[in-house]
Structure 1
């Protein structure tokens, strides 16, 4: 791709998210979402491959439908209340439509079907953008409208997302699909707490972005696309392989790693709100996610690749070094839990 074209697309991608996150008028928020969608499409379909074209088409149709629902919801609200202010969503019909549209934008169950397919049809770098940056604009709208969204629908979607996010990843061998189901499960935790305490949701989102980014960067570095590929990462760098294992355990939410912090706070808050059943179901469903994280951790660090394979000297062909970004975010991915008192102040 032409450098000027790449710069324009990436700038538009960033600008669209910033416009949506900083606007208080529904029309400006919708324009930001459309800019964001139209900018990511050339990035997804950059490879001239049927899978990439299919992924771009699925992404475009889903996001366009969600954007149209948001516009429809805001128009109904403006018709009933006379204001286009994002924080003044007073009409119940508009709120239900908006909840559904944001769930579709994010990939919450039961509107999650596009996310694993789109990630699988994209490159690892594009999948990283879709799983992290593309969640910011809908999340910003969810934070701004959290007081008006339908609590019953959001909590139901949250429970369903954590179950499907764990269940769907069990039978997968493609790492991008596994990361997609991981994303659905994490978004379920965020959706369930969004109507109760948005501060915890913002903390969960920040930690999710950090952990997912570091995981994707390590997969890009080790050129791993399937679980089978991870068995060869030890021949590239034993240290990085151990870091990958710890990151997977952190994504699974095991103490004393960072990933335990948001789950701990969410379960505590749900219990305080007398939602013990919801908390129990979500805690049990996280065990499903933990299973497939442990499966990847097992193949990455606890199995030795056969010595007769031609790839045993993988490290000789293309020496790579971890990026500066990975070096910065790895400590945050692993060791924020001891700083919990500071994050809660």
Structure 2
């Protein structure tokens, strides 16, 4: 019970469902750089604490929290037009992927988490550099900076988990681990919920590629 309570408290710090409501509003209300820190750097300490108690954490709780996060993160970002809110819901969904196997295969969860930070940081820096705040702003990005636009497209698709890009591998490993643990229905639902996040990633990519 103490471990479960600590786990739930830490999920609030990392913005995982169902205690995720603060994250989109905070990220929307700050500058892109602060949003980047909230989505990446701020999560490192609580996530390391989760990694350190993963041996004692109840696996059914982490799986449920992960499943909720992937679904609500994808669902919440569907109708957003503000880029920082979209990135916030993307962060929630990715946190869910990380929590999914934290008690089964810790290394896979760590790879997924740190890879997300590596992919997300340049995205926020590019948004800050080009002053893009909404989806509408993305439509003119190609004309002002084609290189940045191309980089953003690749980063977005990689974060979405499309093969053969980098972000695909940790998601595949997580799904594989869930199947190994006889959690095939959970793996299927998780894979289906990733389609929700793929929708808004592809929408941003499409708008970015408009000439």
Q: Shared fold (TM-score greater than 0.5)? A: yes
- What aligned pairs does 1:1-345 form with structure 2 within 5 A after superposition? 93-301=1-209, 303-304=210-211
Q: Report the Cα distance in structure 1 between the residues aligned to 2:150 and 2:44, rounded to whole angstroms.
A: 30
**Structure 1: 4+ residue segments shifted above 3 A:** none
Q: Distance in 1 between matches of 2:136 and 2:22?
A: 25
| 1:234 Cα deviation after fit | 1.1
- Alignment TM-score, normalising by the size of structure 2: 0.98
Is residue 99–residue 150 contact of structure 1 (8 Å, CA) maintained in 2? Answer: no
Structure 1 segments unaligned to the other structure (5+ residues): 1-92, 305-345
**How far does residue 129 in structure 1 lie from its aligned partner after superposition?**
0.5
Question: What displacement does 1:261 show?
Answer: 1.0
Q: Give the secondary structure class of the aligned counterpart of 1:194.
A: coil
TM-score by length of 1: 0.60
**In 2, distance between residues paired with 1:266 and 1:244?**
25
Q: For the Cα contact (< 8 Å) 1:230–1:296, is it kept in 2?
A: yes
Q: Deviations over 1:132-152 (max 9, x none)?
A: 000000011011100111211
Report how far residue 239 of structure 1 moved. 2.1
What secondary structure is seen at the aligned counterpart in 1 of 2:101? Answer: helix
Once residues 113 and 96 of structure 2 are traced to their aligned partners in structure 1, the CA distance between those partners, rounded to angstroms, is 11
| Matched residue SS, 2:78 | coil
- Residue pair 1:116, 1:177 contacting (<8 A) in 2 also: yes
Structure 2: which 5+ residue stretches go unaligned?
none
Pick the structure with greater CA Rg.
Answer: 1
Bigger relative contact order, structure 1 or 2 (CA pairs below 8 A, ≥6 apart): 2
Q: Per-residue CA shift, 1:172-197, capped at 9, x if unaligned?
A: 00000000000000000000110101
Cα RMSD for the two superposed structures: 0.8
| Cα distance in 2 between the residues matched to 1:265 and 1:215 | 24
Report how far residue 201 of structure 1 moved: 0.9
